[in-house]
Structure 1
Amino acid sequence: MDTRIVTRPAFALIGHAARVPLIHRGVNPHITAHIAALPMTAHDRLKALSATEPTGLLQVSADIDPDDAEGSELTYLHGVAVTEETPVPDDLDRIEIPAGDWAVFRSAGAYPETLQTIWAATATDWFPSNPWRLRPGPSIVSVLDRAADFRTATCELWLPVERS
């Protein structure tokens, strides 16, 4: 598994948030509809605001049920990372992220299947064999590269962690 640990100062995630049901396999149609409802200018505006790692347009899942129950609601934010000091326009949602460590898992292949397989493998393979555990915070997916039809993509999954 292609993994690295990153220590980040406090930062913020800004963008357009919606409450959606958690779906473990396949494309989440509620997230797809949320993103599709945004005009192209909103995506371009967010890209221009991106100011720190993780870079680019981000898929953020926050406020997830501790049991990760299928169908439970979560907050999905389509947005970007900015420094803690960055002023945020009033029409965007903001999630404050405290300083801490992140496990970053890279995936490349069929989208979203490869990303979902890596996500599952973090729980079954990586966490049990490494001295880290999840800490409170959102999970973040950064799409580094993708096919025009989005059938394949290279992504990074950022998970907040602390030493066990």
Structure 2
Amino acid sequence: MDMLKGINDALNYIEENLSNHIDLKVVAKIGLCSEYHFKRLFSLLSGITISEYIRRRRLTLAALELKDPDVKVIDVAIKYGYQSPDAFSRVFQNYHGVTPSIARNTEQNLKAYPRMTFQLKIKGGTEMNYRIVEKEAFKVVGVKYKVEMVNEILTPTYESMISTISDSKMKELESISNKEPNGVIHVSANYSENAEGKAIFDQYIGAATTQELLGNYSILEVPSFLWAVFEIDGNWEKVEEHWQRIYSEWLPSSSYELAEGPEILASKDEKSEIWISIKEK
């Protein structure tokens, strides 16, 4: 599993350079994949962004170093990339719940975020039905939301997004679907990570179509991509389980990596398809 070895080598590099500037392009190269693929895969497997992981590891080590009475707060702040004691103190308190000065108390409880390693675990040998599809460019027409994800918590949640779309609008979107993936689809696009380590992406609830719709709808132009399409029978719990297996089992053992494209869920009557944009390694 060259990909898993690459990711763990990248995590070793991060660990060895927590007191230095870490270029995520270099990290991804060590991980044997593109920067986008590394960021997205890490986020999906760990539940936090790679930037947030680095921040937590630095704050964990900083807390340990502050237990030494001979170490100055300013020196620890600069060592871990903060330009002033005030900036360091704010971030430190947000994470540990106390200021760096209070953290010096040997009896003070602090948080510790352990370093990660990744392993491939295939549970039960359950089959995954999929096909590889080369698809021309198409468009998605629907309702768009800007979503922020922190520790796997979405703002807004899927439930609140769906609740704002009326039944008549849902039926209208379903009626214009004339391209695969069929029916009302959920499309996650334009994934990125901001300076605070939060994941941000656009979420569309709409339809793949050649038709135009009057009204307040957004359009996502999807370029030509290679897609891995996974078929799932069952409820939402089965879909979530399958989605996790795609990233933790199928991708690391395949000859593909994530492309910088959308991820799509098409689901109706407990029959679902997950579309993942991919490219050959």
Q: Normalised by the size of structure 1, how large is the TM-score?
A: 0.81
Select the structure with the greater relative contact order (CA < 8 A; seq sep ≥ 6): 1
Greater percentage in strand: 1
- Is structure 2 residue 255 aligned with structure 1 residue 131? yes
Runs of 4+ in 1 over 6 A off after TM superposition: 23-29
Higher-Rg member (1/2):
2
Letter in 1 for 2:218: D
Matched, 1:10 2:127: no
C-alpha contact (below 8 Å) 1:50/1:81 kept by paired residues? yes
* Number of corresponding residues: 153
Where is the helix percentage greater, Structure 1 or Structure 2?
Answer: 2
1:73 Cα offset (Å): 2.8
Q: Structure 1 72/27 Cα, relative in aligned 2: closer, same or farther at 3 Å?
A: closer
Structure 1 residue 96 and structure 2 residue 213: aligned?
A: no
Name 2:167's counterpart in structure 1. 40
Q: 1:102 to 1:10 in 2, by over 3 A?
A: same
SS in 1 for 2:214: coil
Give the match's secondary structure for 2:203. Answer: strand
RMSD of aligned Cα (Å): 2.5
Distance in 2, Cα, partners of 1:130 & 1:9: 23
Which residue among 183, 190, 211 is the counterpart of 1:56? 183
The answer as to whether partners of 2:147 and 2:156 remain within 8 angstroms in 1 is no
Provide the identity percentage.
26
Give the conservation status (yes or no) of the 8 Å contact 2:147–2:154.
no
Query: What is the CA–CA distance in structure 2 between the aligned matches of 1:5 and 1:23, rounded to whole Å?
Result: 31
CA deviation profile, 1:2-24 (whole Å, cap 9, x unmatched): 11111111101110011123377
Structure 2 distance, partners of 1:3, 1:37, is 33
Deviation at 1:136, TM superposition (A): 1.0
